Chains A and B, each alone.
Chain A
Amino acid sequence: MSANFISGFSRKAFLFVLVLDTFLVCSSPQCLAKDKLNVVTTTTNLASIAEAVGGDHVNVSAISTGREDPHSIAAKPSYMLKAKKADLWIRIGLELEIGYEGLILEGSRNARIHVGSPGHLDVSEGIAPLEVPTGKVSRTMGDVHPLGNPHYWLDPSNGTIIARNICRRLKQLDPEHAGDYDRNLAAFLLNLDNAMFGAKLVEAVGGEKLWKMQSDGTLDGFLKDQTLSLDGWLAKLKPFEHAKIVTYHRSWPYFARRFHLDIVAELEPKPGIPPGPAHILEVINTMKSDKAGLILMEPFYNRADADAVAEKTGAKVVVAATSVNGQEGADSYIAMIDNIVTRLGSALGEVSK
């Protein structure tokens, strides 16, 4: 085959693809029907909450599948294509998406969703972040987030803030359906309250008051004077308050604080740094001295590290997804939290026997 023939073929093939693409552009519908807002979220958790609040007035999609590590999503060109059509882009914030968001937004050529535009929503607004470094941040600290730990969605109380933030922005972008968004928000919050405290208690006391009392530590005292008792996630994990656990990554402080669990160590020596033998030994010693009987981790981390520690300590390993669709059954935000509570409660029950 001569170089001339290859050259001619290659040039013709290129031109053919170019002409075909141009034809398709001219024949394709330029705009989709704009009867619904296109919402694109970085994580599936945000997509689930946006779907619940937006209801029939939004088309929601997430760029991630829920199965991957939310820190290490790659800026695939197909994500730029999704972002191109978005009326609203929603991110977790606190620099969780720092590794890929900029490239996707720039590649989308969609000025509506650039940072600072009404179509760009950072739902960390109003969240009280944990682990905010107060001194100089350095990479010696590992993959630390200067604005605080970004895994705040694992506290269901923060789920209410996320939902309110989304509702507010949807009403701003689509005031015509503001009433529907408010109703959807109320329904979502009620479902979340019921899942957390039990429907009877929520009906008798009110969700907002219960969250407040649970946050300031007065709920137990209040319930002593009541004929109604606690139900839901809080009741499931109540018997294991202050149980000592170990986690793989520093993803769980928000969840642990809400359900009064004590994290005594992480398998990663520093955030984002895989565990080495010396640190594993240190964790084993800590677990033995603190009598920690459980290792909690996400499905996208290597279970072999956790199993090695469990073998030496007799601890149980619980694998629970922190994202919607990250595990079977975790098909909505509430189901995702429920999945964690159920797996954790069951394992802690066995550990405490």
Chain B
Amino acid sequence: MQIRAFGCSPCLATILFLACAGLAGQTNAVGDEQQFLREQIARLQREIKDANDRHAAELEKLQEEVESLKLKVAQPNETAATPERDQGEPGALSRIAQSFNPDISAIGDVLFHAGKNEQGENKDQFSFRELELALGSAVDPFGRADFFVGIEEENGEWHPNVEEGYFTFDTLPYDLKARAGKFFSAFGRANQFHTHAMPWVDKPLMIRNYFGEEGMSEPGAEMSWLVPNPWEKYIELIFQVQNNGDEPSFAGGQSRDLMYVAHLKNFFDLDSDSSLEVGGSLATGANAATGGGHQTNLEGVDLTYKWRPAQQGLYRSLTWMNELLLSQKDEGAEDTVDSRGLYSSLEYQFSRRWSAFGRYDYSQFPDDNDSHENAYTGGLTFAQSEFCFWRTQFTHTEGDGVSVPGSRDEFFLQLDFGIGPHRAHQY
């Protein structure tokens, strides 16, 4: 038993030790667990606080966004004005559908005339002077086409007239450009003006007496060259071959031949606000005298000064334009008529919509250098918008010689209006 007793005591001690150790371990574990739980609670509290903070910040941000959206809704200009390109679908589709259509425009010109006309007859009447239809577009990657059809009334009947219609090759090498079709001859400046682009109601006497009411426009071909030069100035040389169908300088209805026109255009910027253009023109071709075979030679000089201050260009500008034409018309039987015509025009824009102009004309006639006309013109233009203007003009003309009816006074009131995207005109 003793042995058993001694034998048992280490076991008991061991058990007791283990029990105490276990108890102690259990006590420690409970403490750790409590600590762990406390930490967990603290962490959760922190996370809840962070989450609350985040949610508060997000809520504040959302509220700001709502306020911002409310503000945008309250500003129709901005909301309507913020779409991406695709959002304007109907407009975009329409534009795509129209992209192969040419630019089409129509320009109406209504005129009231009072006083004696060029034929010396009293005429106090309205007239729908012209309806100009203009179409233009690229034909292919190599050039574009432009058409200008004037429909005019004459003795109660309407006549369409192709003023110009040409193809422009604008991708030629060596600074060249070519045109083929019907176009105004590059003789000076005023001859090339369309009705709505003129700074006056009518073309200068010089143009009307030598090239007819509409100016000189004939079928033909043109080549022009932008001339390189050490001053780096704009120098353009234009050469045209056209039918000699213009009258009275050339053959008119008896045209069977060609005429040749050359124009040298020099343009200089004097400074950022002003420029000078100096040009020289030559034209030669057979006229209708005694059945043909006789030449008309024309020489012209043009000088244009323009001033348009950059910063005040919407409100102020000035154009001073001058042309001189000399004519030698061989009428057969060793009889060559040397004659001349000129004009000087000043136009001053004094506000955004108003400009005043004056012009002096002197002109003889290609067939009669014993007769001449002097004309003094003044007027006002009111540009209602870029596409519509009103113009009033008074002209006093003095005639001397058998080809003119004598002195006359004329008053004009013009309304010119256009629709469609008409192409800008040359400077």
Contacts and interface: CB of A to CB of B under 8 A. Distances in A.
Interface of A: 2-4, 6-7, 10-11, 13-14, 17-18, 21-22, 24-25, 27-30, 65, 67-69, 72, 74-78, 80-81, 84, 98-100, 102-103, 106-107, 109, 111, 114, 116, 128-135, 137, 139, 143, 146-149, 217-218, 220-221, 224-225, 242, 253, 257, 262-263, 272-274, 299-302
Contacts of A7: 299, 326, 328, 338
The 9 A-B residue pairs whose C-beta atoms are closest, nearest first, are A130-B81, A14-B280, A3-B338, A67-B310, A77-B234, A77-B267, A111-B171, A131-B81, A132-B88
A25 B228 contact: yes
9 contacts: A18-B262, A21-B264, A24-B227, A28-B228, A77-B234, A78-B269, A134-B83, A148-B88, A274-B352
A76 B275 contact: yes
Given A21-B235, A300-B313, A217 B64 contact: yes
Interface of B: 57, 60-61, 64-65, 68, 71, 75, 77-78, 80-85, 87-88, 90-91, 95, 141, 144, 168, 170-172, 175-177, 226-230, 232-237, 262, 264-269, 272, 275, 277, 280-282, 299-301, 308, 310-315, 324, 326, 328, 338-340, 352-353, 369, 385-387, 419, 421, 423-424, 426-427
A133 B175 contact: no
Contacts of A272: 385-386
A156 B127 CA distance: 54
A134 B419 CA distance: 21
Nearest to A250: B77
A24 to B, nearest CB: 5
A109 B175 contact: yes
A28 B230 contact: yes
Contacts of B386: 143, 272
Given A7-B338, A146-B91, A132 B81 contact: yes
B315 A302 contact: yes
A60 B311 CA distance: 22
Given A76-B269, A149-B81, A221 B387 contact: no
Nearest to B90: A134
Given A67-B311, A146-B95, A81 B226 contact: yes
Given A2-B338, A132-B91, A133-B91, 11 more contacts: A14-B299, A21-B229, A21-B237, A65-B310, A77-B236, A103-B427, A107-B177, A149-B81, A221-B61, A272-B385, A274-B352
A191 B386 CA distance: 40
Given A102-B424, A253-B81, A14 B314 contact: no
Contact of A6 (B177, B277, B326, B423): B326
B424 A99 contact: yes
A11 B284 CA distance: 12
B57 A221 contact: yes
Nearest to B282: A14
A173 B78 CA distance: 38
Given A68-B313, A69-B313, A221 B234 contact: no
B168 A263 contact: no
Nearest to A68: B310
B82 A130 contact: yes
A147 B96 CA distance: 12
Contacts of A24: 227-230
Contacts of A76: 267, 269, 275, 427
Nearest to A3: B338
Contacts of A148: 88
B180 to A, nearest CB: 15
Contacts of A301: 314
Nearest to A22: B227
Contacts of A302: 314-315, 352
A25 B229 contact: yes
A11 B141 CA distance: 39
Contacts of B353: 274
Contacts of A3: 326, 338-340, 369
B234 A80 contact: yes
Contacts of B280: 10, 13-14, 17-18
B77 A253 contact: yes
B311 A103 contact: no
A343 to B, nearest CB: 17
Nearest to B62: A221
A274 B386 CA distance: 11
B168 A106 contact: yes
Given A221-B60, A253-B77, A128 B301 contact: no
A186 B212 CA distance: 63
Nearest to A274: B352
Contacts of B268: 78
Nearest to A327: B311
Most chain A CB within 10 A, of B64, B90, B175, B280, is at B280
A21 B424 contact: no
B340 A75 contact: no
Nearest to B324: A10
A247 B144 CA distance: 40
Contacts of A81: 226, 232-234
